C-alpha cells in the first residue's frame, strides 16, 4: 500500500490511523507519535513523542528514549519546545555516558534556545549540567569549582532554592575529588540544611546521600545512618533507583 499510494494520500492515511489510535483507550504514545510523524502533523507528533521519550527514559530504555526525543526535537515549533527536547536528550546522553553529546546539547540550550530555556526555567540546571560534564570530560576541577561557586552566588541572589541545594551538593563532590574532605563534608551539610528548608524530599534524599559519601572514607560508621535516612525518604517516594543506591552504599 505504501509503495502504490500517492504520498499525499499516504500522509492523510497515517493521520487517520493516528487519530483512531488516539481515540482508543490504552494505546501507546509511541505508536501514535510514529504515525503523526509520517503524516507530517508536527504539533501532535511532538506532543506524543515527548511522552513516549519520557516513558522510555523512566524505564532506562535509553536508545528508544533518544529516538523519540529526537523525533520531538525535529517537530518542535517554538524555542521552548526545542529547549525542552534538547534538555531531555542531554539527560539521556549523560545517563549513558555520551558526555560530549550532552555537553553539546547544553551549549545549544544556552545559546540558540536560550529564550526557550528561560521560559521553561531550565537555564540554571543546564549551566550546572555543563560544568558537571566538563568535569567528567577532564576539565581541571579547580576551574569547575570556580564556575560552580559563581553559579551558587547567582542562585542565592535569585533565591532559587532547588538550584542552591544542587550546587552545594555538586561543590561537595568537586571538593571530594580534589581531596578536600573537610570542605566536602561542610558543603554536603549545607546542602542538607538547604534541602530541609526547601521541603523537597527528593532533593533532601540526594543531599543526605552526598553527606554520607563525604564522610565515608574517614568515618564509614558515620556514613551508614545517613544512607539509611536517605533510604527511608526514597522508600516513601517509591524511588527504586534511589533505594538501590542506598542499599549498595550501606
Q: What is the three-class DSSP state of 139?
A: coil
What is the mean predicted confidence (pLDDT) over 73-84? 97
In this predicted model, what pLDDT tens digit does every residue of 123-135 receive, in sequence order? 999 999 999 999 8
Residue 4 pLDDT level (bands cut at 50, 70, 90):
confident
What's the whole-model pTM score?
A: 0.84
- Kindly report the average pLDDT of the chain as a whole number: 94
φ/ψ of 113, rounded to 5, equals -110, 25
In this predicted model, what pLDDT tens digit does every residue of 158-176 receive, in sequence order? 888 889 999 999 999 999 9
Residue 178 has pLDDT above 90, yes or no: no
18's CB contacts (< 8 A; 6+ apart) are: 32, 35, 36, 39, 41, 44
Residue 43 pLDDT level (bands cut at 50, 70, 90):
very high
Amino acid at each position: 500500500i505504501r509503495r502504490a499510494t500517492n504520498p499525499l494520500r499516504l500522509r492523510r492515511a497515517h493521520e487517520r490511523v493516528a487519530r483512531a489510535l488516539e481515540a482508543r483507550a490504552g494505546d501507546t504514545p509511541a505508536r501514535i507519535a510514529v504515525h503523526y510523524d509520517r503524516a507530517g502533523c508536527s504539533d501532535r507528533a511532538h506532543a506524543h513523542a515527548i511522552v513516549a521519550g519520557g516513558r522510555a527514559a523512566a524505564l532506562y530504555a535509553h536508545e528508544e528514549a533518544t529516538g523519540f526525543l529526537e523525533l520531538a526535537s525535529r517537530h518542535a515549533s517554538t524555542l521552548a519546545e526545542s529547549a525542552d527536547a534538547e534538555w531531555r536528550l542531554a539527560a539521556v546522553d549523560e545517563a549513558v555516558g555520551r558526555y560530549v553529546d550532552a555537553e553539546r546539547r547544553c551549549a545549544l540550550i544556552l545559546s540558540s534556545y536560550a529564550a526557550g530555556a528561560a521560559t521553561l526555567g531550565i537555564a540554571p540546571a543546564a549551566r550546572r549540567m555543563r560544568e558537571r560534564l566538563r568535569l567528567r570530560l577532564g576539565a581541571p576541577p579547580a576551574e569547575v569549582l570556580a564556575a560552580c561557586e559563581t553559579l551558587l552566588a547567582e542562585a542565592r541572589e535569585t533565591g532559587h532554592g532547588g538550584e542552591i541545594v544542587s550546587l552545594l551538593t555538586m561543590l561537595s563532590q568537586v571538593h571530594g575529588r580534589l581531596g578536600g574532605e573537610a570542605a566536602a563534608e561542610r558543603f554536603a551539610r549545607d546542602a542538607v540544611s538547604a534541602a530541609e528548608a526547601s521541603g523537597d524530599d527528593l532533593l533532601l534524599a540526594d543531599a543526605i546521600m552526598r553527606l554520607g559519601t563525604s564522610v565515608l572514607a574517614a568515618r564509614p560508621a558515620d556514613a551508614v545512618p545517613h544512607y539509611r535516612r536517605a533510604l527511608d525518604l526514597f522508600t516513601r517516594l517509591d524511588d527504586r533507583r534511589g533505594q538501590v543506591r542506598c542499599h549498595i552504599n550501606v
